[in-house]
Structure 1
């Protein structure tokens, strides 16, 4: 018999959660609640009914639901919303397929309860949704409005008998309000994708939508409710295209007044978003965090993400925001000339999109950018390739230097992520100091949330973590200096395990691994494929964070550790004291004995550990995402 894990995401769902959980108790072998820190009785009710309760920061419906999938013990997952429940007939159908699981996913006929009645006809029924599936072959996807389960190509899907009951709008006023909101979001999404409006779409399409829903789909059998649902669907369709037409008229300057829909268009800011989509850490995290915080704190502005490709990408959490859109060259063109488009031909697209500010997030600006008419901002993270050229090779150093010199020359403003980087720009490239502004990095807001005990226990078991451990997070490369941490542990006979989270490079295989084997050190743990959303729990439960890097532009893992509430041991000099503040102990990274002494101080002195933690949390507040976003908006507006 197949075993099923049921998962639900919640936030203040005390009104509906009991009904949802009880409907799944017969069919589910476990029920998991992933909660976004509810302040009502959601937790109390869930635990009373025997559900496993996990709290996790909310980063969008899609990502929260995918996180919930990862918490499941079994691969066959039943995923419901808190305002949904299984009908008796659907429960029986699920019990039968548990005995004979033949498909990769199962669709449910969703029956919606609206304004006091069940809508059994119209386009609302059967509103078929995948809610039971093999998580190895599918996950949640989605854009601005609704998230959906998408299965891998070739997956077999079946429709089950019985209804998934869904309680929607309690009043017609609520339905109208939501309809207006969704029509605006849809219009903006269509506009950013280049879709057009027309007379047929504004007049004929809504009329046909009503005819289809009310007559062909027998909505009239639902009485007044069927009429209202059908007319609302038609009106939503019409509003979407009317608003889309206004957006295009405004964009072509054919309106001599400002329509209310356009009142919040604000500044159009473009980003070189390649790193945001493809880099899992480092420059990718910087790009994603900045775009995310800007989109959430400045909803009046539009953020356009320029990327050579949109397949096989790291999905951006913030792409669910209505003020974000993606710009990419045509499919055939980008397969052949994607890099060339990003470095040169993107300029015509920047001009076409009427971008006010174009921000190069990682040392580059396209050639000919001045022809676009956009003001330009360039972020420079570090000049490590000039300070330590041996790590890069002569050809890469030549290319990086040429691109950076050009970008610094044409940029209207240069953002250095630390004073150290600003000094390097002045000393190595002779950049005008007046052109440079220092704006620090922020770290993902998930590090601010306290991770619950049950969630950590789940992650601890998954990666076989010990009860007490030291922590290192970062690429395992020569510059990051992991070997000297290992040597410090051996020299000082420190038996507390070190957990190392990061990608292994040739340095690991040539230097670190041989040392571990030679000295028979089995207390160094290398968990594989740790997800970003799991890192806060690993940080928060470590004794301290050890990061003796030789040189950094900023050192984002230090900030992640401080925000997580643990003390830090890091290097003297470079940018480290800017990032680490009073929450860190500073050591000579080339001296294993000094590293070891610092570790012993922290693990043996609870008072010191508490003081460092207190100072670290306070210091980290100046790097909060909303603080950094405000500084960037001030910079952007100063250029216009």
Structure 2
């Protein structure tokens, strides 16, 4: 069996959940002895720099960020079309929703991974450039559709005209399960902190969460909410934090490596995930792997992923959020219990499991 993956998720992003997923998937399938090819001549993606699958040529933004990215994207797309027309593969797996390949596949089958329906649920057109009609066409013509959670499968069935038997659920994984920190690795952090990881926009529910836990932070004045991610607080966030007099207790932390993020999870009182919706929630598995208690919303896929290893709150109820955050701060035995349950729960997710289930999907369409 020969699998061809395309350029889309890797062209313009150095990091990102979709690129991380596909890179981990390709590495695992390659280790199973299956021939894997990534059609990608140019990329600055960090996951590919030491890849066993493919190491593309890096590039500089000599024409400015967006013009250079557009030029590289078109070049990579042409390369993907060349590989598709050569036909030296059995299954094609696009890494995003552009339909450039549809008229060139001939009789070759393709499998489509659908991560989440955030764009559709929250009317956020900036998340991708594919319309509902374009996605419907891809879903219609795909030999099989991989949904990363039962929740995503349910949403696809509600939002698109598709038969349930065409969709297979294949869960994601975290590489943190086998991650090892360098000897004597340390990062300067607050002594006691709750950890928030990633973006804070829209459906992430960040500002309502901060407003909900303000009384808890004031009561526990030695505890900091540490927000790890690349984007600094915006004007609205700064204004809310200032209005709550939490400038010294809500802080941003820009991390630059998995080692740093792993360390942050390890030292945190707990990881907090107040999002209203996710397709899967890989940070949950990252926290489990690091021995970090997890406190999270009781919505979308979260109960499906965390099981009994999370402390849940209703993200729409400030009192419930505050109650659970006070409980996790004060109750050491609860934190220890959640850590042990997290270690056990993470065994249900691994690169090997994801690769084996994906391979079964591939085999089913040949």
TM, length-normalised to structure 1: 0.51
Counterpart in 2 of 1:576?
302
Indicate which of 231, 244, 265 corresponds to 1:504: 231
1:388 maps to 2:122: yes
Q: What secondary structure sits across from 1:517 in the alignment?
A: helix
Q: What secondary structure sits across from 1:375 in the alignment?
A: coil
Counterpart in 2 of 1:537?
263
Indicate which of 10, 18, 31 corresponds to 1:283: 18
1:408 maps to 2:148: no
Task: Indicate if the aligned counterparts of 1:289 and 1:443 stay in contact, CA closer than 8 A.
Answer: no
CA positional deviation for 1:339: 4.5
CA positional deviation for 1:341: 6.4
Higher strand share: 1
Counterpart in 1 of 2:63?
none
* CA offsets 1:289-311 (integer angstroms, 9 cap, x no match): 2222222x31x22211123x515
Counterpart in 1 of 2:344?
618
1:528 maps to 2:218: no
1:306 maps to 2:39: yes
Change (3 A) 1:336 1:537: closer
CA positional deviation for 1:352: 1.2
Counterpart in 2 of 1:33?
none
Counterpart in 1 of 2:205?
481
Distance in 2 (alpha carbons) for counterparts of 1:345 and 1:403: 22
Distance in 1 (alpha carbons) for counterparts of 2:165 and 2:296: 31
Distance in 2 (alpha carbons) for counterparts of 1:624 and 1:411: 26
1:470 maps to 2:194: yes
Indicate which of 143, 164, 171 corresponds to 1:440: 171
| CA RMSD between the two structures | 2.7
Change (3 A) 1:311 1:556: closer
1:377 maps to 2:111: yes
* CA offsets 1:563-604 (integer angstroms, 9 cap, x no match): 222111111121111111111111111223222211221221
Task: Indicate if the aligned counterparts of 2:42 and 2:72 stay in contact, CA closer than 8 A.
Answer: no
CA positional deviation for 1:535: 1.2
Distance in 2 (alpha carbons) for counterparts of 1:377 and 1:539: 34
Distance in 2 (alpha carbons) for counterparts of 1:373 and 1:268: 15
**1:353-364 equivalent positions in 2, closer than 5 A:** 354-364=88-98
TM, length-normalised to structure 2: 0.86
Change (3 A) 1:627 1:369: farther
Distance in 2 (alpha carbons) for counterparts of 1:339 and 1:277: 6
**1:598-617 equivalent positions in 2, closer than 5 A:** 598-617=324-343
Distance in 2 (alpha carbons) for counterparts of 1:606 and 1:501: 24
Structure 1 segments unaligned to the other structure (5+ residues)? 1-266, 329-333
* CA offsets 1:18-73 (integer angstroms, 9 cap, x no match): xxxxxxxxxxxxxxxxxxxxxxxxxxxxxxxxxxxxxxxxxxxxxxxxxxxxxxxx
Task: Indicate if the aligned counterparts of 1:273 and 1:287 stay in contact, CA closer than 8 A.
Answer: no
1:293 maps to 2:17: no
CA positional deviation for 1:343: 6.3
Distance in 1 (alpha carbons) for counterparts of 2:323 and 2:183: 31
Distance in 1 (alpha carbons) for counterparts of 2:357 and 2:70: 38
**1:303-382 equivalent positions in 2, closer than 5 A:** 303-307=36-40, 309-317=41-49, 319=51, 321=52, 324-325=53-54, 339=73, 346-352=80-86, 354-368=88-102, 371-382=105-116
Query: 310-319 vs 559-568, which deviates more?
Result: 310-319
Change (3 A) 1:273 1:476: same
Counterpart in 2 of 1:632?
358
Task: Indicate if the aligned counterparts of 1:291 and 1:318 stay in contact, CA closer than 8 A.
Answer: no
Change (3 A) 1:486 1:336: closer
Change (3 A) 1:327 1:634: farther
Change (3 A) 1:475 1:403: same
Distance in 1 (alpha carbons) for counterparts of 2:43 and 2:120: 33
Task: Indicate if the aligned counterparts of 1:548 and 1:589 stay in contact, CA closer than 8 A.
Answer: yes
* CA offsets 1:296-352 (integer angstroms, 9 cap, x no match): x31x22211123x51544351552x2xx24689xxxxx9876545666883442231
Distance in 2 (alpha carbons) for counterparts of 1:590 and 1:290: 35
Distance in 1 (alpha carbons) for counterparts of 2:213 and 2:342: 24
Distance in 1 (alpha carbons) for counterparts of 2:102 and 2:322: 52
**1:65-80 equivalent positions in 2, closer than 5 A:** none
Structure 2 segments unaligned to the other structure (5+ residues)? 58-67
* CA offsets 1:511-536 (integer angstroms, 9 cap, x no match): 31101122331112212243233211
**1:84-233 equivalent positions in 2, closer than 5 A:** none
Change (3 A) 1:441 1:335: closer
Task: Indicate if the aligned counterparts of 2:20 and 2:47 stay in contact, CA closer than 8 A.
Answer: no
Distance in 2 (alpha carbons) for counterparts of 1:336 and 1:453: 41
Distance in 1 (alpha carbons) for counterparts of 2:334 and 2:90: 49
Number of matched residues?
351
The structure that has the greater radius of gyration is 1
Query: 534-543 vs 378-387, which deviates more?
Result: 534-543
Task: Indicate if the aligned counterparts of 2:203 and 2:276 stay in contact, CA closer than 8 A.
Answer: yes
* CA offsets 1:524-556 (integer angstroms, 9 cap, x no match): 221224323321111112111101101111111
Indicate which of 513, 531, 546 corresponds to 2:238: 513
